[in-house]
Amino acid sequence: MVVARQFHGPIDLHAHSSVSDGTETPAELVHAAAVAGLGTIALTDHDSTAGWAGASAAARAEHLTFIPGMEFSTRVDYASVHLLAYLFDPADSSLLAEMTRVRAARLARAEKMVARIGVDYALSWDDVLAQTTPNATVGRPHIADALVARGHALNRSAAFADILHWKAGYFQPHYAPEPLRAIKLVRAAGGVPVIAHPATRGIGDVVAESSLKTMVEAGLFGLELDHRENQPEPTARLRELAAKFGLFVTGSSDYHGAGKPNRLGENSTAPEVLERIIEQGRGSAPVYG
Ligand code: AMP
Ligand code: FE
Ligand code: FE
Ligand code: ZN
């Protein structure tokens, strides 16, 4: 029997720790969620589950509900598409193989970008490593932090607007699976897949009606429509498509600590939607702290 649970306080289903490109450890992130008055927090580091243990322990101590998750990198041509995945089995061999491949590709790609930037700016790979915790999923934010430390940019956002922008000529893509394959991998691992910030600039055709229909048939659960980077017009269009296809709508902050202006709880998810996620998630369990 499924026991209906009350969730006390707002529900934020998208946040990053220093296991990827957030600036706080998983325990610090959970503490910050408690201070912000949240009742539920999901940890969704890029392509990694290494923060789950630390966040679980902190959630018990802080009396918060913790939802284990991940933001899985996927790609269609040059468009980067992020897939949130909740409550999957972190030991599923097919999913794990793909996560490992993506993390390795991210590392090689970051080294390549730094080599290119290093031609024009004083910047070395060691500078980037100094900004990265061991085994973290490396991304442009770590390069941004190294550029800031070297005095080439004022903060992460400035680095992204300038040297790390694809127009600057240093940008390199990295391997990532197609969204459809990622959705299937997440479901096969018992997880619940949601497309992250699907109405941001540049995603375009990926969430056109026909491809969305294919993703729904493959097991897509929902769309993260309440997110500060979603643009009004595509968001309205996707809200209609979500209703048409029976997709659930989530909302979240995409908090990165000091690395982004996004604040915990600035967008949240309805308790009824979280209940459906928990019902469908079969690979791991929430922590009710
Ligand atoms: P990457 O996946 O390595 O290409 O880097 C993209 C990541 O950088 C995203 O997951 C964002 O969290 C982060 N990011 C993108 N734009 C900004 C920005 N303006 N300021 C800080 N972080 C950003
Ligand atoms: Fe990020
Ligand atoms: Fe994202
Ligand atoms: Zn994110």
* DSSP one-letter string for 77-116: TTEEEEEEEES--TT-HHHHHHHHHHHHHHHHHHHHHHHH
Query: What is the arithmetic mean of pLDDT over 211-220?
Result: 97
The structure tokens listed for 279 are 């019902």
Q: What share of the chain is helix, strand, coil (3-state, %, to 5)?
A: 45, 15, 40
Give residue-wise pLDDT tens across range 261-283: 999 999 999 999 999 999 999 99
Q: Which ligand is nearest to the CA of 260?
A: 1
**Ligand 4 ion: Cβ-proximal residues, 5 Å cutoff:** 71, 254
Instruction: Name the 3-class secondary structure at 214.
Output: helix
Query: pLDDT tens, 6-35?
Result: 788 999 999 999 999 999 999 999 999 999
pLDDT in tens, 105-132: 999 999 999 999 999 999 999 999 999 9
Pocket test for ligand 1, best of 140, 145, 167, 252 (most atoms within 8 A of CB): 140
Give the number of the ligand closest to the Cα of residue 83. 3
- Give the residue whose CA is nearest to atom 18 of ligand 1: 157
pTM score above 0.95? yes
**Other residues' Cβ atoms within 10 Å of the Cβ of residue 39:** 20
Q: What is the DSSP letter of 71?
A: E
Q: How far, in Å, CA of 106 to CA of 147, rounded? A: 18
Question: How far, in Å, from the CA of 266 to the mean position of ligand 4?
Answer: 14
Strands 287-288 vs 192-195: parallel, antiparallel or unpaired: unpaired
Pocket test for ligand 1, best of 160, 170, 197, 228 (most atoms within 8 A of CB): 160
CA of 282 to the centre of ligand 1 (A): 30
Residues with CB under 5 A from ligand 3 (ion): 82, 196
Measured from the Cα of 160, ligand 1's closest atom is 19
CB 219 within 8 A of CB 248: no
